[in-house]
Structure 1
Amino acid sequence: MSGQGTLAAFRRSLIQRWGGVSAPGWGGLEWSDWQPLDRSQIKAFAPHGPGVYRIRETGGTCLSYLGQTSRSLRTRLGTLRSELAREGGPFADPHVAAAYFWLLLTRDGKSFEFSCASLPGDKRHLRGHEDLLLWLHRVQTGRSTPINYARFYPGFRAPTPTWIGAKAKGRRGRKTEPLSADELASVISDKQAPLLWTDGPIAEAPWWSGSVAADEALTSLPQAPGVYGLFDPALGDFLYFGESDLIRKRVAQHLKTFRHIEGLSIFYKKGRSPFSKNCRYEWECDLLGNHYFNHRSPPEWQYRKHG
């Protein structure tokens, strides 16, 4: 069976198993019914506790955004809803997606629905499950959720946090604003094919550009944008996946921590130019979501502090 045929068969098996991306059992979770994104419905249907949540335009079939919280779903969704009423638009905090939703609401007249699922676990597994769901969305629909991957409303500049630096000594942040004509002309709107893989270990995927031993990384890895994975042969698995605008430079930083691992190798995938950070984030999530699907856990060193 061809690669496309394998992917199509895998997509059908996922739909048979869990339904589409808006289904109540999607991803093997117990999602709440879809409800309008307003305060009363959030209070009634979003639990106090950790979990994941999904948002779509009212009546839509694909998702607009996926998120997770290790604290309270009710608080997280309530914060997002409150920020949509902020005069002049939200900052990038306390909810990073609020400004994009605010522009859809105020400029395009969109309305939104939410659905959430309780998911006990530590922050690593919550983030891993978020990666899984984002990957599943790309597999099943052939497209990304538009408000994830650090993407922003076309033609506008993303806001900053409320304060740049410490509040006592820093400066006030910036809300969203239209890009100038010169800025619009320089915007990169690239698209990259997803790194979707369903047949065997990720290390055997055909789309890797190559792999090198750790001892050769500083001379053999490209100074190019893309994604990479650190593979431990004793473990038989990847320790970490990452993205960078300069693969060799970023891996050099990791090797300060991981060089002691015997037989460590680095797999990498270069992107075609132009290659935005948004597409690098998509590729990174493809790797992480696939890993979580196969192992039910993130790579050993993912979401941990290291070099």
Structure 2
Amino acid sequence: MDFLEENWLELDWSPWVPFNAPREFWYIQKAPGIYRIRPNNQDLLMYIGETGQSLHKRLSGLRQTLRRGDLMPWSDPYAEAPGLWSWWVEWGLAKDTGTPVAPSKGSNAPPRPSSGGETDDTEPVMLEVSSAPLDASVSGRKGMENFLLYRYRQETGESPLCNFGRFHPRYRKSTTRSEGRRGGRLANNQKDNPAGFPGITPLEPVGNPGDSDWMGMEWTEHKPLRPEHAREAGEGAGLYLLADAKSREILYIGQSGDIAGRLPELCGKDWQGHEVQFSYQIIGQKVLPHNLREQEADLLGNYYENFRKVPAFQFQKSR
């Protein structure tokens, strides 16, 4: 599996380090970069992330946050912590029926116990992390993060369990600490968390960024980003592209649960002298947020694969 190797996509990945091995944690680099998390010795990823601080500091903090099994962590400062915690606790609950293992590919069901005989008292599946330093700007790191997510989805046909806002179906997520609502397991009579519903099939890497059939989509004809045109956009959830009218270079890749509402909002943004055009693709009338984010990452990842950069206005807070 390429995504588990120490040279995945020609990056200098550290060895896989267990979260409960403080001595081995010194393999984690003291530099900004990217990281990937998996269940111990399993052939799937739970999370791919990036940080502008020391990888060692970031991951040491995440490790400490996950030590308590009785309280789900807050969503800040480690956005991935609640999701990782929910799967970890669920594996612990399965301990009574056998040694827990990670969920099978393509499934959001709780882990299946092993088919062995007696139940053992060893610790449940532990998480492991591998990291790679990356000397890049914020947009450079986030571009690489989306490229890794795109390639992982192309390799496996699915997304990491805790990226894109995905969550365990039987848990509700903690809010930020300031909001003060702690997450936990749902009651038996409560419906599954929609964030735990299946991911969406990866987009097919065909065409070039900006083509009318890029990534197997049917992009609309480019129109000027002006209120009179934006108000004519189709109803529904989908993806959109903003491009320079002269060069047709893509300036921004986005997604929205309401394309007809989102495009008019963009008309008033400062595009720094660019004459901007838009194009879009409606995916459906109602699409789960994590499914839209998955396909947005497919587009960003393919763009990065082609140009080794992200669009000029991507990852700017004002967008």
What's the TM-score once normalised by structure 1's chain length?
0.84
Tell me whether 1:253 sits opposite 2:258 in the alignment: no
Out of 201, 205, 208, the position equivalent to 2:209 is: 201
**CA–CA distance in structure 2, aligned partners of residues 89 and 31 of structure 1:** 29
Residues 108-119 of structure 1 mapped to structure 2, 5 A cutoff = 108=91, 109-119=124-134
1:7 matched residue in structure 2: none
Tell me whether 1:99 sits opposite 2:112 in the alignment: no
Q: What residue identity is the alignment partner of 2:223?
A: A
Deviation readout 1:85-135 (Å, 9 max, x if unpaired): 134221111211112222222221331111110001111111111000000
Higher helix share: 1
Residue identity (%): 27
Q: What residue identity is the alignment partner of 1:254?
A: L
Question: Unaligned stretches of 5+ in structure 1?
Answer: 1-18, 165-171
Secondary structure of residue in 2 paired with 1:163: coil
1:294 matched residue in structure 2: 306
Q: What residue identity is the alignment partner of 2:274?
A: I
Tell me whether 1:46 sits opposite 2:28 in the alignment: yes
Deviation readout 1:170-199 (Å, 9 max, x if unpaired): xx3323341673543977836533223244
What's the TM-score once normalised by structure 2's chain length?
0.81
Question: Unaligned stretches of 5+ in structure 2?
Answer: 92-123
CA separation of 1:297/1:289 partners in 2, compared to 1, >3 Å: closer, same or farther?
Answer: same
**CA–CA distance in structure 2, aligned partners of residues 94 and 52 of structure 1:** 16
Q: What residue identity is the alignment partner of 1:136?
A: R
Secondary structure of residue in 2 paired with 1:288: helix
1:9 matched residue in structure 2: none
1:219 matched residue in structure 2: 231
Secondary structure of residue in 2 paired with 1:268: strand
Tell me whether 1:60 sits opposite 2:42 in the alignment: yes
Secondary structure of residue in 1 paired with 2:255: strand
1:167 matched residue in structure 2: none
1:129 matched residue in structure 2: 144
CA separation of 1:90/1:101 partners in 2, compared to 1, >3 Å: closer, same or farther?
Answer: same
Whether the 8 Å contact between 2:158 and 2:199 is mirrored in structure 1 is no
How many residue pairs were aligned? 281
**CA–CA distance in structure 2, aligned partners of residues 188 and 37 of structure 1:** 24
Deviation (angstroms), 1:236: 3.1
Whether the 8 Å contact between 2:231 and 2:264 is mirrored in structure 1 is no
Q: What residue identity is the alignment partner of 1:192?
A: I
CA separation of 1:103/1:63 partners in 2, compared to 1, >3 Å: closer, same or farther?
Answer: same
Larger displacement relative to structure 2 (173-182 or 29-38): 173-182
Q: What residue identity is the alignment partner of 1:208?
A: E
CA separation of 1:292/1:41 partners in 2, compared to 1, >3 Å: closer, same or farther?
Answer: farther
